[in-house]
Amino acid sequence: MNNIKGIFFPDYIWKFQRLLRKTEYTKNCKSGILGKIQYVFLQYHFQKLSLKLGFSIPLNVFGPGLAIVHYGTIVVNANAKVGANCRIHPSTCIGASGGSDKAPRLGDNVYIGPGVKIYGDIVIGNNIAMAANSAVNKSFPEENSLIGGVPAKRIKAIDISSIIKHIGDE
């Protein structure tokens, strides 16, 4: 029954995440002519699915445990680095600022709400939740925090496992 459901109602976000990881693996680990041919094939399908879903997510930016909640515009700079267990919503931009090529570095267990803009040469610590439509343009190295607003500021201390449910399920 699940196979039939997958034919008529495919989960494109799950396909995207699997293709992202497979393309990253092929780029990083495969060598030789067959590896390069496989990479070109996967990269083509990855770009095609990225356009369909509205994602601009480069390879080797996100750590393990990426959760994309819904399709829609997600733009990420190729120089950004995001740790493990990131949950990201649509209408999000993670990018450089003012002609610089330096992009944000986010820690592990980060929740990025819908419409969040993160830009500049900043560092976001571990276990951080960003409220919807926040504009994050300065570093927040302290852990276990909820940040939000325009410009973003620390709102309160939180337990990130109440927001990202799969944290601690190992």
> What per-residue confidence (pLDDT) applies to 139?
95
What angle separates helix 32-53 from helix 12-29, to the nearest 10 degrees?
150
Among 81, 74, 123, 119, CA closest to 100: 119
Q: What local confidence, expressed as pLDDT, does residue 161 receive?
A: 80
Q: What percent of the chain has pLDDT over 70?
A: 92
The model's pTM is: 0.87
**Domain coordinates in residue numbering, the chain:** 1-53, 55-160
Amino acid identity, position 94: I
Res 170 pLDDT > 50: no
- 80-103 pLDDT, tens digit per residue, is 999 999 999 999 999 998 888 899
CATH topology of domain 55-160: UDP N-Acetylglucosamine Acyltransferase; domain 1 (2.160.10)
pLDDT digits (tens, 9 = 90+) for 15-38: 999 999 999 999 999 889 999 999
**Angle, alpha carbons 104-110-115 (nearest 5°):** 70
